[in-house]
Amino acid sequence: MAAHGDTQDEKDNTTYRVTVQNVTGHTTLGRGNTVTGSIGAPARAESQVTQAQLDALRREFDRVRELVEQLDDAGEREKGAAVDRLEELQAAVTDGEPDVRTMGRVRTWFAEKLPAALGAVTDLLMLPTVALLAQAAGDEVAAGFDALLQSFGAASPGES
């Protein structure tokens, strides 16, 4: 937190008192300021996902599908439903803008219906490529994804 009081204009002794706490971005104070910018800045370069990363992500989804199909403690009907949920999760992650609500809903389904595969599904969501896709979609999706990770005790991307 920073606090600052300073005389800004010698002619009329105008004083501004500013207290800043947990603010990110630009702050402008005073008279006669011109601020130019845009809303929805383009995604940062480090948020761009390569085709190789997407291919690796698809292979991870395939690996988890195989794991689900090989579970001994699940019936065929349950395995089929789990594969359907994995397809839904893959679409939520990779088809256009990531759908964080669907990601959370699918993970909850595994927690309730097939907990033996929950760790593998959670691992999918924690892959760096998933975080990059969320970041590339913009601040709102990235914040929702961070909240999802935090809801199951994972660190947000960039935290250690």
pLDDT at 42 over 50: no
pLDDT digits (tens, 9 = 90+) for 84-116: 999 999 999 999 899 999 999 999 999 999 999
Are 5 and 16 in contact by the 8 Å Cβ rule? The answer is yes
Residue 145 has pLDDT above 60, yes or no: yes
Q: How high does pLDDT run on average in the chain?
A: 79
- The structure tokens listed for 117 are 């595969």
3-state DSSP call for residue 4?
A: strand
* Per-residue tokens: 79: 């395995």
Report yes or no: 54 and 94 within 8 Å, Cβ to Cβ: yes
Of the pLDDT bands very low, low, confident and very high (cuts 50, 70, 90), residue 45 is: very low
Q: What is the pLDDT of residues 112-138, one digit of tens each?
A: 999 999 999 999 999 999 999 999 999
Residue type, 14: T
